[in-house]
Structure 1
């Protein structure tokens, strides 16, 4: 297995079998950001015994207060294993300081802009080096916001992106107190007295978040704020994005309401887009919640198959299926 790259140092830190799946964990050291200590963990899930059969790549980005376990449990249950068993080449990324990605030197000052400008392009380069096919990118909550920023800011090469799927992701919910400049400034001042926001203490998840993310969010939602970094307006840039995009919202999600998720979808300039709202009115068994939309028995039955159906719409997967009729060693399971 490859443990080096033409782009930057890479170490294969683990290679295990997890039942019918293989789990390879890489640690990337891109060295492309002002903080040279950044290292990123990237896990590949494949079918045991078929490690060399590269299906279409799917890259999964967890949300805030989360890590790779959001996408697959230690018993290999989750959307990641589901897609791997369906023949996709599944990669699970963990942002700097999360999961198996060690905390970098300037961890407390990490921002979404860092993820967008430096980390996602590095992950894209490494995955493409091992599997030079267009990749599907899937992100939950903050993970979807990171993907939207990387596409709107032109930090991800669209020619290498098959599609993107955003689960419970939005940037349009208004926090009116932050529109009052003194309140925004005061909030920033208070936040900077802390180093992290504890996910376990707030019962939001197993991971902490650096305070830099919260300060950055205050700027976005301020009176003259915008979704972007100092150089580019990501929101405006989304109108020029042409990759296929699907947005998934949950009717019971109080954190990221469906209307705001749909607004983010409509900002994309893509000709192929789809909005999926998970609620009883839409024919689902319940009004799904922010986490339950992906992590629940109901999601396993009702949502995961729809995600697979979306991924198989891409020309790349269609070509793979066509080739599988000729080459029996690369057969993907039929729907």
Structure 2
């Protein structure tokens, strides 16, 4: 693999112009996990006319049963192109076995823990090597959960994170039957008979998910489960995270309800945070759903501009927060 990085082998597998956009696709082979066959696809979007100029990086993480097309359609539409046209340096990651990322040897055993401990840090390091500015991170659904895990487990350097935006992401919804050990054991026994969960058969999306993710979710929601891996309690670690945080929930989302998304936000220790529920009650045209909150004509008109404004304003807000902290002096909490 020809390398375009000094960190680990990286191949530039595509460099094209798409409409008014430049699209560079990299394949990373970090070699930092027990499975040495892991390769990750990372798409970089910019405006073709400004190819030599790079703004602040924004890293987008898709949810389950999905790939980069959630953010970037073949017609050049999506939040990714929108942010690129707004002047940001946009990077779209695809998890193991999704989209342009090939399936690794141990694909069926892949877990969020692997994404958290190995893949996100590698993506962060490569993006920082290419653009040494603190990056904004945006995650939808499982992508947001993975991002929260990487922050709560302290696998991402907070000094390199400009802000975090979580869309439809939560870990607090309770599945009471799973609290009964026989039910959890039975579910685990049945799931182990499969290697993947089919997104097309389940009508959840274009991609499959490895069975390891489902088994990990059973552990999280079991009687003595916790959001974390065998080494670290990610949920407890979130209280030590200080990066600016935006959490967005959808009023019509039955999968990840607003109350649970808010609870995830409240677990963070971020002094600068904002919660938004996109629905009629808050002045939006409709009660958005889990996917429609980011992929719909209504989202293009009402949600995407809010995201761009959040990213634009974060640097100013952080500067104001730092100045206020200096004025208060050490040991004085905000608001006093």
The TM-score bracket by the shorter chain reads over 0.9
Residue equivalent to 1:327: none
Residue equivalent to 2:328: none
Instruction: Render the CA deviation track for 1:87-127: whole Å, top value 9, x for unaligned.
Output: 00000000011000000000000000000000000000000
Instruction: Render the CA deviation track for 1:267-314: whole Å, top value 9, x for unaligned.
Output: 000000000101101100000000000000000000000000100112
**1:52 Cα deviation from its structure 2 partner:** 1.9
In 1, the alpha carbon distance for the partners of 2:99 and 2:70 equals: 11
Once structures 1 and 2 are overlaid, which stretch shifts more, 48-57 or 249-258?
48-57
In 2, the alpha carbon distance for the partners of 1:71 and 1:23 equals: 13
Secondary structure of 1:229's counterpart equals: coil
Distance 1:317 1:273, change over 3 A: closer
Residue equivalent to 1:328: none
Residue equivalent to 2:322: none
In 2, the alpha carbon distance for the partners of 1:67 and 1:30 equals: 20
Contact 1:162-1:316 within 8 A present in 2 as well: no
Residue equivalent to 2:172: 172
Written as runs of structure 1 = structure 2, the 5 A alignment for 1:135-284 is 135-284=135-284
Secondary structure of 2:290's counterpart equals: coil
Contact 1:312-1:318 within 8 A present in 2 as well: no
**1:35 Cα deviation from its structure 2 partner:** 0.1
Structure 2 segments unaligned to the other structure (5+ residues): 320-336
Distance 1:211 1:31, change over 3 A: same
Give me the CA root mean square deviation.
Answer: 1.3
Structure 1 segments unaligned to the other structure (5+ residues): 320-335
- The question of 1:112 aligning with 2:112 is answered yes
In 2, the alpha carbon distance for the partners of 1:172 and 1:185 equals: 21
Contact 2:244-2:318 within 8 A present in 1 as well: no
Aligned residues: 318
In 2, the alpha carbon distance for the partners of 1:235 and 1:73 equals: 34
Distance 1:317 1:266, change over 3 A: closer
Residue equivalent to 2:286: 286
Residue equivalent to 2:334: none
Residue equivalent to 1:66: 66
**1:317 Cα deviation from its structure 2 partner:** 10
Instruction: Render the CA deviation track for 1:13-34: whole Å, top value 9, x for unaligned.
Output: 0001001100000000000000
Residue equivalent to 2:32: 32
Distance 1:41 1:316, change over 3 A: farther
Residue equivalent to 1:331: none
Residue equivalent to 2:327: none
In 2, the alpha carbon distance for the partners of 1:299 and 1:184 equals: 37
Secondary structure of 1:217's counterpart equals: helix
Q: Tell me the TM-score normalized by structure 2.
A: 0.93
Residue equivalent to 2:51: 51
Residue equivalent to 1:304: 304
Q: Which runs of 4+ in 1 moved over 6 A?
A: 316-319
In 1, the alpha carbon distance for the partners of 2:190 and 2:318 equals: 52
In 2, the alpha carbon distance for the partners of 1:259 and 1:315 equals: 28
Secondary structure of 1:277's counterpart equals: strand
